[in-house]
Amino acid sequence: MKIGIFDSGYGGLTILEKIRARLPQYDYVYFGDNARTPYGSRSFEVVYQYTLECVKHLFDEGCQLVILACNTASAKALRTIQQNDLPNIAPNRRVLGVIRPTVEAIGEITKTRCVGLVATEGTIQSNSYPLEVAKLFSDVEVIGQACPMWVPLIESNEHHTLGADYFVHKYIDALFAKNSNIDTLILGCTHYPLLLEQIEKAVPAGVNILTQGDIVAASLEDYLGRHPEIASLCSRGGTIRFLTTESVDKFASSASIFLNQPIIAEHVTL
Ligand code: DGL
């Protein structure tokens, strides 16, 4: 059995990279629903339907465990899949998200107890981050800012352009105008590490920027340690396959830039 990593597009590659660096022994399947990306502006119902289809496909590919390496899917689909679908379709398999581990990490980092969140419209509207933060750290305030232009810029490989700089400043300035006490910024979308250099230049000095790759990788390692019954079912051949709903050539050329290595992708029709 393998470990599945799912995202609406290329963003989950930033998580995959860190997971493989920390846990290279396992076999992985990465699945990008590139033909239907972005998810960030879609309704709850649509994100849930798309995510469920992709999770089922990863189960069909032999995944024991699926990580939703996508905040939008974690915000809008994870709980329903865990509570309503898994018991019927695959009671012995697991689906995990990226929001909870990210929230767990902020408690020790913020000193001002004021945290900024940049994410897709869907993640911001779902209120998932403030709700999770309130459960763990009731004294921490979350100030959110939707950044609807960032994923399209990254998916179209336009993230190193002056146009991208403009949109980075636009949303970062809007966020800090809401509250200048923010000392920690969560990049709450797995695509956003691709804009890290520009974001670092745009935020006020001294602000901590939290990317999710290392956090999710550490959390997965911890999860597998606490669940030997799941870990023992995961095969250890160190392999990776890449699946996409888009053209394989398009996926392979963009994903190779993200990962800095040549890759071969397989097409999936859902
Ligand atoms: N990478 C996804 C996330 O973490 C979203 C991208 C999209 O809008 O599809 O939210």
Q: Which CATH number fits the domain that encloses residue 73?
A: 3.40.50.1860
Could you tell me the end-to-end alpha-carbon distance of the chain, in angstroms, rounded to an integer?
21
Residues 27 and 89 in one domain: yes
Range of the domain at 202: 100-212
* Domains of the chain: total: 2
Is the Cβ atom of 37 under 6 angstroms away from ligand 1?
A: yes
Question: Which residue in 54, 63, 70, 234 is the catalytic one?
Answer: 70
Report the C-alpha gap between 172 and 203 in whole angstroms. Answer: 7
Is the Cβ atom of 116 under 6 angstroms away from ligand 1?
A: no
Residues 155 and 241 in one domain: no
Residue 103: count of CB within 10 angstroms of its CB = 25
Angle between helices 248-259 and 13-22 (to 10 degrees): 60
187 contacts 212 by C-beta, under 8 angstroms: yes
Is the Cβ atom of 244 under 6 angstroms away from ligand 1?
A: no
Mean pLDDT of 38-51: 95
Residues 109 and 46 in one domain: no
Residues 117 and 173 in one domain: yes
121 contacts 146 by C-beta, under 8 angstroms: yes
DSSP-assigned letter for residue 204: P
**pLDDT-based confidence at residue 156 (cuts at 50, 70, 90):** confident
Provide the whole-model pTM: 0.94
Q: What is the pLDDT of residue 79?
A: 96
The rounded Å distance from CA 147 to ligand 1 centre is 11
**pLDDT-based confidence at residue 25 (cuts at 50, 70, 90):** very high
Residue with tokens 């396992």: 26
23 contacts 205 by C-beta, under 8 angstroms: no
Residues 148 and 201 in one domain: yes
Mean pLDDT of 214-233: 97
Nearest partner of 188 among 49, 55, 75, judged by Cα: 75
- Ligand 1 atom showing the smallest separation from residue 190 Cα: 4
Cα–chain center distance at 36: 16
| Whether residue 43 has pLDDT greater than 90 | yes
Dihedral sign for Cα atoms in the order 247, 252, 257, 258: positive
Residues 106 and 189 in one domain: yes
| Whether residue 197 has pLDDT greater than 90 | yes
Report the C-alpha gap between 128 and 46 in whole angstroms. Answer: 17
Amino acid letter, 133: V
Checking phi first, is residue 62 left (phi over 0); if not, alpha (psi -120 to 50) or beta? left
| Whether residue 257 has pLDDT greater than 80 | no
| Whether residue 258 has pLDDT greater than 80 | no
| Whether residue 205 has pLDDT greater than 80 | yes
Residues 109 and 206 in one domain: yes
Last residue of a domain, one of 179, 196, 212: 212
Q: What is the pLDDT of residue 132?
A: 96
4 contacts 237 by C-beta, under 8 angstroms: no
Is the Cβ atom of 64 under 6 angstroms away from ligand 1?
A: no
Residues 134 and 180 in one domain: yes
9 contacts 244 by C-beta, under 8 angstroms: no
Last residue of a domain, one of 175, 191, 212: 212
Residues 15 and 70 in one domain: yes
Report the C-alpha gap between 251 and 255 in whole angstroms. Answer: 6
Nearest partner of 195 among 218, 211, 183, 174, judged by Cα: 211
In this prediction, what percent of the chain has a pLDDT beyond 90?
Answer: 93
Q: Note if 189 is an active site residue.
A: yes
